[in-house]
């Protein structure tokens, strides 16, 4: 995808991360700079996520899980949050449809991103919301 | 849009009365009616009807697997705001249900 088009797509996506939206979800936006959205889900156990959206929406976004201070995550709860290392990135990863690490994992290579990417709610804000709900369901509000 | 004070209950006796409300639907594709205001409505209104209006305005066409919550509490879209114990100023979070996973 042409870089300018990818950046334009990205800018349109992050426009959904309004102050009203992030306040309602109790997120802190650390930075938004193409192609990365860096947010922290606040709560009893905050989680920081750096979502890389290069070539959006041709590629699903890649999620880097972090502690709020930017250090590597410890004690991920399981479910879609894998403390073990992804075979490609070598890092803990999110295993949920819509995220690059899921679709590139050997267990899900036949579950294609193309199946999901046009669905309502599978945009950048939607994927972050799903991830946040999964996190808070696992660790508490 | 200012932060609402509360969405407190008006009591069981109020369920059949029509109370004025101010409602926003906050979705992953935008905010209904807009970022600066609430939609006026009534406690006897069915939640699903408001969500349908939000979907029309925001261009959402497939929300069959979406969930609506208020303050992290799931609400019943088929019921009225009153039946969901929602009164006053209400912000509904509405989004696609999270996917499962596991490698």
CATH number at residue B42: 3.10.20.90
Give residue A101's domain range. Answer: 3-133
pLDDT at B2: 55
CATH number at residue A56: 3.10.110
Kindly report the pTM of this predicted structure. 0.92
B71 interface with A at CB cutoff 8 Å: no
Burial grade of A47 (CB within 10 A; 0-12, 13-18, 19 or more): buried
Which ranges of chain A would DSSP assign to H, the alpha helix?
3-14, 19-25, 100-103, 124-139
Please check whether residue B12 lies inside any domain of the structure: no
Structural domain total, chain A: 1
Please check whether residue B29 lies inside any domain of the structure: yes
Q: Which helix (H) or strand (E) holds A71?
A: none
Please check whether residue B2 lies inside any domain of the structure: no
Structural domain total, chain B: 1
B12 interface with A at CB cutoff 8 Å: no
B2 interface with A at CB cutoff 8 Å: no
Please check whether residue A138 lies inside any domain of the structure: no
Question: Residue A39 has which token pair?
Answer: 């947010």
Binned at pLDDT 50, 70 and 90, residue A2 comes out as confident
Please check whether residue A141 lies inside any domain of the structure: no
Burial grade of B95 (CB within 10 A; 0-12, 13-18, 19 or more): buried
Please check whether residue B103 lies inside any domain of the structure: no
Give residue B40's domain range. Answer: 18-96
Please check whether residue B7 lies inside any domain of the structure: no
Per-residue pLDDT tens for A65-117?
999 999 999 999 999 999 999 999 999 999 999 999 999 999 999 999 999 99
Per-residue pLDDT tens for B18-76?
999 999 999 999 999 999 999 999 999 999 999 999 999 999 999 999 999 999 899 99
Please check whether residue A140 lies inside any domain of the structure: no
Of the candidates B29, B96, B103, the beta carbon closest to that of A82 is on B103
Subunit contact A96:B100, Cβ cutoff 8 A:
yes
Subunit contact B98:A134, Cβ cutoff 8 A:
yes
B1 interface with A at CB cutoff 8 Å: yes
């Amino acid at each position: 995808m042409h870089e300018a088009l990818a950046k334009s797509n990205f800018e349109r996506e992050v426009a959904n991360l309004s102050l009203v939206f992030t306040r309602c979800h109790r997120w802190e936006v650390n930075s938004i700079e193409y192609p990365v959205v860096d947010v922290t889900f606040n709560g009893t156990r905050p989680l920081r996520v750096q979502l890389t959206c290069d070539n959006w929406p041709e590629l699903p976004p890649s999620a880097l899980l972090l502690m709020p201070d930017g250090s590597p995550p410890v004690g991920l709860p399981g479910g879609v949050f894998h403390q073990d290392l992804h075979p490609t990135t070598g890092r803990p990863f999110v295993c949920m449809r819509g995220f690059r690490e899921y679709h590139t994992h050997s267990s899900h290579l036949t579950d294609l991103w193309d199946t999901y990417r046009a669905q309502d709610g599978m945009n950048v804000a939607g994927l972050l919301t799903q991830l946040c709900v999964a996190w808070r369901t696992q660790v508490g509000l | 849009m200012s932060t609402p004070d509360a969405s407190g209950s008006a009591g069981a006796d109020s369920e059949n009365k029509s109370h004025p409300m101010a409602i926003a639907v906050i979705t992953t594709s935008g905010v209904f009616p807009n970022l600066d205001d609430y939609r006026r409505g009534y406690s006897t209104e069915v939640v699903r009807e408001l969500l349908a209006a939000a979907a029309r305005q925001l261009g959402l066409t497939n929300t069959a697997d979406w969930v609506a919550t208020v303050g992290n509490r799931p609400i019943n879209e088929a019921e009225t705001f009153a039946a969901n114990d929602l009164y006053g100023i209400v912000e509904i979070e509405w989004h696609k249900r999270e996917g499962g996973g596991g490698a």
